[in-house]
Amino acid sequence: MHIEINGNIQALIFDVDGTLADSMPVHLESWREVGKRYGFDYSKAELERNAGMSGQEIVEVINENNGLSLDPDKIADEKEAAFLKNLDQVKPIEPVVRVLEDFYGRMPIAAGTGGYRRVATKILQNIGIWDRIDVLVASDDVVRHKPHPDTFLKCAESLGVQAEACLVFEDAELGFRAARAAGMEVVDVRPYYMDDRKV
């Protein structure tokens, strides 16, 4: 994955799940495990469609789709507990991590995620790049999550960089919309690592 960065870019912002960390299969299994307890199924298509939402927002969608009235905080917490049990299965997405490593020390780097701060921190520690992240903005830190721009705007503000001088790396539609709404350029990382996986 080779990225040409124009001279206006002063900071990089990376999504975590599906961008830096190959965690989506573990998230899917975690939702399915909780779904067995509470009477709902969760498909790969739903996982992809909801990527970037907070856990509580996903539970609200599950309630709406399944005629349920599950407690969003309780179910999201149970799902994250199931995810953390299998954290060792989460591996780095090497082509994207290489970009981060290439620019580490050359410009500030943030991570902006729809996940909980404690979970995102553990993921980044597990894949060995926690010490490369200058700022982490998680679902706990903003009221409005992706596709709203707040996560990425808070990253820019915390880094002390203008929004339009940030380049975002993302893998999900809600994240692309959030980056564009923030006035930032965005790179869809999926073609890079999908191409790499075919090799």
Per annotation, catalytic residue among 15, 17, 22, 171: 15
Has 15 been annotated as catalytic?
Answer: yes
Instruction: Give 96-102 contacts, CB < 8 A, sequence gap 24+.
Output: 96/1, 96/14, 96/19, 96/20, 96/169, 96/189, 96/192, 96/193, 97/20, 97/127, 97/129, 98/1, 99/1, 99/3, 99/12, 99/169, 100/12, 100/14, 100/20, 100/129, 100/132, 101/129, 101/132
Q: Which residues are catalytic?
A: 15
